[in-house]
A and B are shown apart, each in its own frame.
Chain A
Amino acid sequence: MISWAAREHHRFEAAGRPFVYLVPSAAIFALDDTADAIMRRLTERPYTREELEAELSERHGHEELDDTIHELARVRAIGELIVPGREDKPQPKIFPLTPFPLTTMVLNVTNQCNLSCTYCYEYSEDKIVDTENGKKPKFMSEETARQSVEFMLKESGDNKVAHITFFGGETLLNFPVLKKTIAYARQRGAEVGKEVDFSLTTNGTLLKPEIIEFLAENQVGVTISIDGPREVQDKFRVFHNGTGSYDVVAPKIQELLKRHRSRPIGARVTLTSGPLDIKRIYRHLTEEIGFWEVGFAPVTTSPNRGHAISEQGYDDMLGQFRDLAYEFLEYSVENRHHGFSNVKETLEEIHKGMSKAFPCGAGLGLMGVATDGDVALCHRFAGSDAHKLGTVADGIDRNAQHAFLDKHHIANKTDCSACWARPLCSGGCYHEAHTRYGETTRPNLHYCDWIRGWTDVCLQIYGELSERNPAFLAQFDDKMAAERVS
């Protein structure tokens, strides 16, 4: 006698009706009463057809039951109970076709910074590369930057658009090279028939009229690292002498926002220990300063540092994220803009049904270039010999890349194999894992509950939007976004 069992899924409710998020396909289906009744029973334990009939046919009818079982089986929400010894074959370890085109190149134009943010992953005790006394040049030369542009144009394959992101250190400390690189990449892009898109991340301290003018004119996307109102910003984001940076950056950012209207400008907030008031930070940065959008990221750190977020801190953060996400929902239902970018990014991934073999594009569609032209997994590893994937002069070391992908595939992360959130998380940030556990291969088990909680919130928002304003979700169709860098 065949017994039916629910396959891996996550049930959630939105707009008063039940949904299932299926794993590993990442497909979302809305259920009617019959489908929900069957799913709920099969989640408790396996049932035979007769047992389901005995419990459900009075209310749902024979034919309805059969139809529904058939539909659920068809989309693999349920399946025949697996007999020991005849388990499903493990998920095949599928690799993207190589050479995989590069979408985004992050150029670390300098590893120097004029701030001394206590939590900085590049300078604090958790740093990977010795940026003070190490062998890497402090600034990228014009020659290396040009080679990087050639590297990017070549490695982007058939892609029509190449994204170049300038990063640091403090990016604007090397503004002269940045400026020349943009001109050079524009010209070379036109020659080979590619559009080149530029963006940068900066702490805002060095913004001045001519720089702002240049960024606006060249449509350079700008992300500002800022933590919030004065008392929050000045807690960690300080100059070398310890003074806070808020009073320096706030007026400069307002200047930038006033002049630079060609691209939406976002703030990128690092969340740390201590009482968090995310809504207040959000309000300050959007309404008082004028940012178009704000993205939040918990600090990357070893667990024993003072600024590390505790387990309780993650719970608290989730509650506040949820409140802000529901505010985003209400705005979106009315087709009004809301700048909470975390929820928007996740909604896009949910909409497309992304099911990731790797947590991000690092080492695949995104790579970071160190000041000397060494190519690494991403900007956070730029300059680290242990995470090197080639050089801009010699190209990508395909063997190193393949070895990296083989080692970091989700199929290797046995801890993740029973988690319903793995299509979106895939074990989380390599750099976070390296800082926490000393190993890029480890899944980030310290924030699993947070990831599941946040994914659940975003699924609910998605479900609500699918019922209340499906047109809003159409904006994510066929949109190929560049990877975000933080």
Chain B
Amino acid sequence: MKHLKAVNSKADRVDRATQGDVVALQRPPQQPESGPHIPIGCSLVFSPGWEADRAGGTAGLCQPVERDLFDCHIGCYWPAQVPDQLNHAPDWTSKCAAAQKDWRKIDLVFP
């Protein structure tokens, strides 16, 4: 801790007990207004893999990334690089019927 200093033995124990907390909880409790905008829409959809936990963190969640890819790519704004399925690569996911099983069949797309 930078701003507080544990002084008595109990404070040491409080410090130690709260240190090993879930990684996500160690983010600042609220995003500063001036910081980057993180969309909150995805977290409103019940879809394992993208929910935020109580403090807005995701690090402790356990869905595979490929599930994230699909949900976000189809149902929501996807901030990472995915092919333009509307114009350029409409068949990009055609071989992938079930993401959990077929994710390896999603191929690279070259412009």
Contacts and interface: CB of A to CB of B under 8 A. Distances in A.
Chief secondary structure at chain A's binding surface: helix
Contact of B3 (A26, A27, A71): A71
Contacts of B30: 2, 49, 66, 69
Which of A29, A68, A71, A76 gathers most chain B CB within 10 Å? A29
Contact of A25 (B3, B10, B21): B10
B14 A62 contact: no
Contacts of B87: none
B4 A75 contact: yes
Nearest to A69: B29
B53 to A, nearest CB: 15
A67 B3 contact: yes
Contact of A463 (B6, B7, B27, B32): B7
Instruction: Indicate the size class of the contact surface on chain B.
Output: 20 to 34
A49 B21 CA distance: 23
Nearest to B7: A28
A353 B8 contact: yes
A351 to B, nearest CB: 5
Given A70-B29, A75-B15, A352 B8 contact: yes
A274 to B, nearest CB: 37
A34 interface: yes
A31 B10 contact: no
A157 B35 CA distance: 59
A25 B4 contact: no
Chief secondary structure at chain B's binding surface: loop
Interface in B9-23: 9-11, 13-15, 18, 21
A421 interface: no
Contacts of A49: 30, 32
Given A35-B3, A66-B28, A69-B28, A75 B14 contact: yes
Given A50-B33, A74-B18, A352 B10 contact: yes
B2 interface: yes
Which of A50, A66, A67 gathers most chain B CB within 10 Å? A66
Which of B13, B14, B32 gathers most chain A CB within 10 Å? B14
A53 to B, nearest CB: 8
A227 to B, nearest CB: 34
A202 to B, nearest CB: 35
B1 interface: yes
Nearest to B21: A74
B71 to A, nearest CB: 28
Nearest to B28: A66
Contacts of B21: 74
Given A67-B3, A72-B4, A463-B7, 18 more contacts: A27-B10, A27-B11, A27-B13, A31-B3, A32-B2, A32-B3, A53-B33, A66-B28, A69-B28, A69-B29, A70-B27, A74-B1, A75-B1, A75-B15, A351-B9, A352-B8, A353-B13, A462-B8
Interface of B: 1-11, 13-15, 18, 21, 26-30, 32-34
7 contacts: A25-B14, A27-B10, A30-B7, A67-B28, A72-B3, A72-B4, A74-B18
